[in-house]
């Protein structure tokens, strides 16, 4: 097709507010409209005749497979929420539609609409409320289970003392051991009501502590990358609670890499300042972002939307409480946790406002 014909064909797309890419089966770009240039910060000149990887990584050949499907089934494809990582290392959420171009056997239109920030905020808020309700429900349940469990264990012990036959004690031991196991689980679900201790703290002290705990648990096979913004100010937090939250996240990464039997296990801690961000319906002038990154197998697809819910686990011996606990502890500091995961790279980002209305706990005399 001559360039002139192509130009006329794509003219109608020039003024669209949605970002449009026209490409062939192999994802080689024939045309992009100005909205695409703005969305991905790449010019048409840089893009045309190149692969769509100039804009973003085609993780798991997602786009290639979709184009094949659209070509075979002769209909369009829609994805309401898809996360892309651009070459500026920005993660953006888009809704996308792929259609075969009429009058062309080998051209496809990919249309992107960036998900409204507002929608995202509303969704986060909904998820947060749902999570609070779930946690509350489980706490009440754990409370109700804990008391009869004590009675059950005590009765089994008394019974054991009365048993004449030694071999029967095997059964009372099962009752006692299983009651203990349940008791431990219930205790973890009922986050201890320790009084918080708020103190001015440097985030890097906390991260260094987590690092040494991880290294002692997972030996020195783990390589650590630390990329700290040392200019970050101190802020008021409960040190032990933050250590617990970050440790739960980092430990998951280390466990996933170990279970994956990979040769190189790498954990990264990155800290940065974030300015003027909005979350949980509040605007924060400055916040600290902590990225905890591992190069493990990634979070299983079927788990990704539920990992923060209590009792959700993908590990045989996991109890599924680590992340839900971390979420609660970060919420105490008015922060939030976000997560993006693809095979080979899982990023948990914790965002903590510096101005959090917490006041230092007075030292006891
Ligand atoms: N970095 C990660 N890489 C791969 N999978 C992960 C990662 N982080 C979390 N997961 C998945 O999320 C699940 C939930 O994690 P969570 O910490 O809540 O529970 P757990 O680790 O299974 O048990 P617990 O922490 O209570 O011992 C994990 O079982 C695992 O399948
Ligand atoms: Mg865990």
Which atom of ligand 1 lies at the shortest distance from residue 188's CA? 26
Query: Rounded CA gap, 284 and 277, in Å?
Result: 5
CATH 3.30.450.20 for domain 3-115: yes
CA 280 to chain CA centroid, nearest Å: 17
Q: Pull the structure tokens for residue 47.
A: 């893009």
* Range with lowest mean pLDDT among 74-88, 95-109, 113-127, 153-167: 113-127
- Ligand 2 centroid to Cα of residue 321, in Å, is 7
For residues 295 and 265, is the Cβ–Cβ distance under 8 A?
Answer: yes
pLDDT-derived band of residue 184, with 50, 70 and 90 as boundaries? confident
- Tell me which residue has its CA closest to atom 13 in ligand 1: 313
Is the minimum distance from the CB of 312 to ligand 1 under 6 angstroms? yes
The helix (H) or strand (E) run that includes residue 257 is helix 239-259
pTM recorded for the entire structure: 0.66
Task: Tell me the percentage of the chain whose pLDDT exceeds 70.
Answer: 91
- Ligand 1 centroid to Cα of residue 68, in Å, is 34
Which atom of ligand 1 lies at the shortest distance from residue 308's CA? 18
Residue 134, pLDDT score: 79
Query: Rounded CA gap, 35 and 16, in Å?
Result: 7
- Ligand 1 centroid to Cα of residue 323, in Å, is 7
Query: Rounded CA gap, 296 and 270, in Å?
Result: 17
Is the minimum distance from the CB of 327 to ligand 1 under 6 angstroms? no
- Ligand 2 centroid to Cα of residue 323, in Å, is 6
For residues 70 and 76, is the Cβ–Cβ distance under 8 A?
Answer: yes
Query: Rounded CA gap, 47 and 20, in Å?
Result: 12
Considering only the top CATH level, what class is 198-353? alpha beta
Q: Pull the structure tokens for residue 72.
A: 């075979």
Is the minimum distance from the CB of 196 to ligand 1 under 6 angstroms? no
- Ligand 1 centroid to Cα of residue 117, in Å, is 28
Query: Rounded CA gap, 115 and 290, in Å?
Result: 24
Which atom of ligand 1 lies at the shortest distance from residue 296's CA? 3
Query: Rounded CA gap, 271 and 94, in Å?
Result: 26
Mean pLDDT of the 243-267 span: 94
- Ligand 1 centroid to Cα of residue 315, in Å, is 7
Residue whose structure tokens are 């309401």:
80
Q: Who wins on pLDDT, 280 or 70?
A: 70
* Range with lowest mean pLDDT among 30-34, 93-97, 132-136, 353-357: 132-136
Query: Rounded CA gap, 297 and 256, in Å?
Result: 7
What are the extents of the domains in the chain? 3-115, 119-189, 198-353
Ligand closest in space to the Cα of 307? 1
Up-side HSE of residue 301: CA atoms within 13 Å toward CB? 1
Ligand closest in space to the Cα of 348? 1
| Cα angle, residue 299 at apex, residues 298 and 302 outer, rounded to 5° | 140
pLDDT-derived band of residue 21, with 50, 70 and 90 as boundaries? very high
Pairing of strands 77-85, 91-100: antiparallel
Burial of 303 (C-beta count, 10 Å sphere; 0-12/13-18/19+):
middle
- Tell me which residue has its CA closest to atom 12 in ligand 1: 307
């Amino acid at each position: 097709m001559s360039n002139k014909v192509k130009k006329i064909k794509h003219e109608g797309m020039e003024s669209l507010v949605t970002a449009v890419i026209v490409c062939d089966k192999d994802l080689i770009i024939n045309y992009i409209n100005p909205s695409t240039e703005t969305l991905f910060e790449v010019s048409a000149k840089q893009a045309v005749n190149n692969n769509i990887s100039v804009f973003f990584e085609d993780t798991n050949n997602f786009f290639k497979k979709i184009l094949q499907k659209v070509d075979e089934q002769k209909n369009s494809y829609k994805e309401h929420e898809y996360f892309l990582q651009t070459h500026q290392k920005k993660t953006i959420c888009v809704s996308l539609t792929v259609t075969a171009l009429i009058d062309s056997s080998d051209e496809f239109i990919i249309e992107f609409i960036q998900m409204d920030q507002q929608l995202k905020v509303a969704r986060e808020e909904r998820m947060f409320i749902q999570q609070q309700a779930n946690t509350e429900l489980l706490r009440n349940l754990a409370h109700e289970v804990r008391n009869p469990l004590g009675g059950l264990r005590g009765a089994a012990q008394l019974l054991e003392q009365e048993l004449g036959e030694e071999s029967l004690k095997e059964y009372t031991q099962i009752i006692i051991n299983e009651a203990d196991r349940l008791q431990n689980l219930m205790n973890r679900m009922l986050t201890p009501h320790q009084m918080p201790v708020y103190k001015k703290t440097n985030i890097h002290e906390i991260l260094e502590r987590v690092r040494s705990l991880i290294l002692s648990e997972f030996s020195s096979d783990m390589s650590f990358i630390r990329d700290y913004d040392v200019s970050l100010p101190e802020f008021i937090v409960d040190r032990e609670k933050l250590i617990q939250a970050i440790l739960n996240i980092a430990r998951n990464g280390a466990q996933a890499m170990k279970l994956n039997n990979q040769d190189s296990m790498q954990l990264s801690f990155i800290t940065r300042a974030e300015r003027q961000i909005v979350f949980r319906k509040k605007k924060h002038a400055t916040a600290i972002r902590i990225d905890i990154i591992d190069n493990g197998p990634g979070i299983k697809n079927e788990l990704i939307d539920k990992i923060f819910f209590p009792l959700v686990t993908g590990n045989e011996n996991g109890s599924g409480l680590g992340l839900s606990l971390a979420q609660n502890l970060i919420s105490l500091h008015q922060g939030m946790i976000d997560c993006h995961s693809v095979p080979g790279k899982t990023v948990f980002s914790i965002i903590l406002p510096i101005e959090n209305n917490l006041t230092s706990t007075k030292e006891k005399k």
